[in-house]
Amino acid sequence: MKSKFLFLAVVALMVLSLGLVACGGGGTSSGNGEPVAQAPEPTAAPVGDPEAGKAQFDTVCIACHGPGGVGVEGLGKPFTTSEFLLTVDDQELLEFIKTGRPISHPDNTTGVDMPPKGGNPALTDEQLLDIIAYIRTLHE
């Protein structure tokens, strides 16, 4: 009885260790051999749709920045000649528009508020990126 138990225990141990070797060895070699799935290249910042952006611009921003972004004297600055637009990327411009540039801001040149999101808090990032794509087309 006792020896039969011992025999079973030894067999069980052998099976176990064989299993471990098989798993360990097999696992490592197949792990190295299998092609690793490549993550897709990170794409550049999402590009907005300038046509959808124009529609938004013409309802929100046009009041101060004028049709086609020519600017309105005493209100918004022109985009057609803006140095600022040339120096910021889309992400920075998105942050700028979401923040605005109050009169108290040291960069404010007009003494007029640029309100956050042009005063329309309902605008989403996606819509703002569309607007950004549109105003990028306005620079002369």
String of b and e for 62-74 (b: at least 16 CB within 10 Å)? Answer: bebbbebbebeee
Taking the least distance from each CB to ligand HEC, the nearer of 26 and 88 is: 88
CA distance linking residue 94 with residue 117, whole number of Å = 9
For residue 48, state whether it binds ligand HEC (rule: CB under 6 A). Answer: no
Residue 27 has which token pair?
């696992």
With CB under 6 A as the contact rule, the residue among 90, 115, 116, 136 that binds ligand HEC is 115
For residue 133, state whether it binds ligand HEC (rule: CB under 6 A). Answer: no
For residue 52, state whether it binds ligand HEC (rule: CB under 6 A). Answer: no
For residue 84, state whether it binds ligand HEC (rule: CB under 6 A). Answer: yes
Taking the least distance from each CB to ligand HEC, the nearer of 32 and 124 is: 124
With CB under 6 A as the contact rule, the residue among 54, 66, 94, 131 that binds ligand HEC is 131
The amino acid at 93: L
Residue 52 has which token pair?
């959808």
Which listed range, 5-13, 17-25, 33-41, 70-78, lies at the site for ligand HEC (CB under 6 A)?
Answer: 70-78
The amino acid at 134: Y
How far apart are CB 43 and ligand HEC at their closest, in Å? Answer: 24
Look at residues 139, 104, 131, 100 and name the one whose alpha carbon lies nearest to residue 116.
100
Q: Residues interacting with ligand HEC, by CB under 6 A?
A: 60-61, 63-65, 75-77, 82, 84-85, 96-97, 101, 107-110, 112, 114-115, 117-119, 131
